[in-house]
Amino acid sequence: IDPVSFITTDVKFSRFKEDALYNNDQLRLLIPRGLCFIFANNSWVYTLYGHPKFGNFGDYIYSHLTTNNMSEYQKIFKTKENGECAHWGAFVHNDITYEVYGSKNVHMVVRHTYYDEDIRTYTDKRYTYAIKMADLINAKPTDTAVRYLATTGYAFCGEGCSTDSQHLVKYEASKIMFFAVTGQRNSITDSIVKVNPYELCELIISLGLKNVKETILVNTDKDETKLQEEYFEQCDNSEGAVVNCIDGTGNTVYVYKHKNYDYVLMRALREQMRKHATTKKIINRLDNLHIIHPDFENKKQQSIEFNAWVNRTLNKTDRETFFERWPDWFITFCNTSQSVKDECLRAHEEYERTVGTLNVIMLMGIPGSGKSFISRALVHILNMNGKTAIHLEQDMFFKQGKGANKSYQNAIKKNMNNASCDYLILAKSNHNTQVRNSTYATLDKCERNVIITYIELSTNSANIHDTGELCVERIMRRGLAHTSLFGLDEDKIRSIIFGVFVKQWEPLTEKEQESDAIHLEINKSKEEIIISLCSKLSDLYLEKFSDFQIDLHHVFSLINNDDNQMIQTNQKH
């Protein structure tokens, strides 16, 4: 932005590490949601600090607090709006006022007086949500609000609720609603927010902005707290409440969600429908909710009927935007006659019975990360437990040279419509979206219902280069047991691993993350890796892999025999 070159550096935890790391007091203090450092001509000028992550009651609680003493604090219940996270900050540099707009993970810098011009410079797809939030905020900008942000260095945290992208709560108009003012904290005992949540209402109104729907102050009376909890649990068209615990000095010491019961159930259903889950898996998920819904059986039956109605009624175009218009489709479903719902349910049950489901397990890992070993172990374990699993990887067709990928895809085509195949385990490297997309194109032609689960293989470091180093070391140790790389010296192997696979590595996209994903730390022992994998798969699937630990010695013996045969074959070459 002439004459200044800005760099925005967004900071977040890696996907598979987030929950574990956020349980650390210091990390949660240092890395709130929405943390963004901004540099002007390579010099730091501003940092936006969003709201620290919070969960349900008892989650992410600071070490100097206990759940027992929460009753001693005032509680402020604020409506938990059901939109996209939005941040808004401002700073002055060389007498020019700049604004910072962002979503949870992506932020942008624009000049206060040239919003329309500057926002058009952000053309990359990664800015989609950030621009959406910026447009909602800028639709009603106020000079007073920008001066407040630039003077204090604070940030406004809000929820951007848009009529063209609704999750589970229906909104009649697109709007941004603010729920917190945040800034840098130096200690875990500092207030989580910069303005008392109850006083925030008056500030937001005075700046010409919009609050969340409701803010309710409750003193330390337990009965009054219980009444407010029940109120938010049973509100129609609601996600629930964000509860701020306030100590005697007015500081916010803890924040948690208190969810609406219908929302909890519907979110679980939505999560399963995104994965194209079977009716059996949907029922299993709903039966294991962390709340006891007062009208559970009726709501569960309604959920099963809704899933069937969507799958049997919506055309391909409608399904592409279904999850963005969920509230509208649910209202349409509720207004549908019971006879139509019953017919859709019968048709869907027949479809599931005759077409069946193919569980695809797609491994993501660079050569040497253990894809083949894990795949073979999983095949043996599944087969021992009465399931039919087929393992495919491109190295199986290595001798066909450039035709290996085509043969690999043809093998997928051949096996994916095999009614007796329960699990198809795909162990190509799958290290970037281009490679994965070629497999999706093949699976799209499958006549069965396809459910994909990803297994990402890396070290316990978020740095893919660390994984590369370990993989090079492993390949050198394996020698003749590695199908496609045997006989190469270390320099050549290092060139392949880092010049191709590390360089091209791309994590799962937002769309891919709608499916289940498992992370395995490959620097652990093979026993730990397989036990961890089976435990995680047991949580995702209904199979419990009974007695798999007893069979591990036998499984590893079978794999060793395979490796020895491979060594003998490669020695002949």
- pLDDT at position 479 is 58
> Is a pLDDT exceeding 70 seen at residue 486?
no
Top pLDDT among 461 and 361 is at: 361
What mean pLDDT do residues 247-274 have? 96
Q: In 112-261, where do the E strands start and end?
A: 155-161, 175-182, 215-218, 240-246, 252-259
Instruction: Report DSSP letters for 300-349, one per residue.
Output: HHHHHHHHHHHHHH--HHHHHTGGGBHHHHHHHHHTS-HHHHHHHHHHHH
> Is a pLDDT exceeding 60 seen at residue 546?
no
Q: Cis link prior to 3 (omega < 30° from 0)?
A: yes
Q: Of the candidates 489, 486, 470, which has an alpha carbon nearest to the alpha carbon of residue 478?
A: 486
Tens of pLDDT, residues 161-198: 999 889 999 999 999 999 999 999 999 999 999 999 99
Q: What percent of the chain has pLDDT over 90?
A: 73
The amino acid occupying position 233 is E
Q: Is 501 helix (H, G, I), strand (E, B) or coil?
A: helix
> Is a pLDDT exceeding 70 seen at residue 573?
no
- pLDDT at position 315 is 94
What mean pLDDT do residues 252-272 have? 97
CB 101 within 8 A of CB 90: no
Q: How many CB atoms lie within 10 A of CB 365?
A: 25
What mean pLDDT do residues 539-554 have? 65
Tens of pLDDT, residues 280-311: 999 999 999 999 999 999 999 999 999 999 99
Tens of pLDDT, residues 54-70: 999 999 999 989 888 88
Tens of pLDDT, residues 330-369: 999 999 999 999 999 999 999 999 888 999 999 999 999 9
- pLDDT at position 565 is 72
CB 486 within 8 A of CB 566: no
Tens of pLDDT, residues 408-436: 999 999 999 988 999 999 999 999 999 99
Q: How many CB atoms lie within 10 A of CB 48?
A: 28
- pLDDT at position 569 is 60
DSSP bridge partners of 88 = 101, 156
Q: What percent of the chain has pLDDT over 70?
A: 95
- pLDDT at position 538 is 81
> Is a pLDDT exceeding 70 seen at residue 567?
no
Q: How many CB atoms lie within 10 A of CB 61?
A: 18
Name the band, by pLDDT with cuts 50, 70 and 90, for residue 554.
Answer: confident
Top pLDDT among 270 and 12 is at: 270
Q: What angle do CA 407, 410, 415 make, to 5 degrees?
A: 125
DSSP bridge partners of 241 = 79, 258
Tens of pLDDT, residues 229-257: 999 999 999 999 999 999 999 999 999 99
CB within 8 A of 434, min separation 6: which ones? none
Whole-structure pTM value: 0.86
Tens of pLDDT, residues 211-225: 999 999 999 889 999
Average pLDDT score, the chain: 91
What's the rounded Cα separation, in Å, for the pair 181 and 192?
9
Q: Of the candidates 78, 84, 214, 260, which has an alpha carbon nearest to the alpha carbon of residue 162?
A: 84
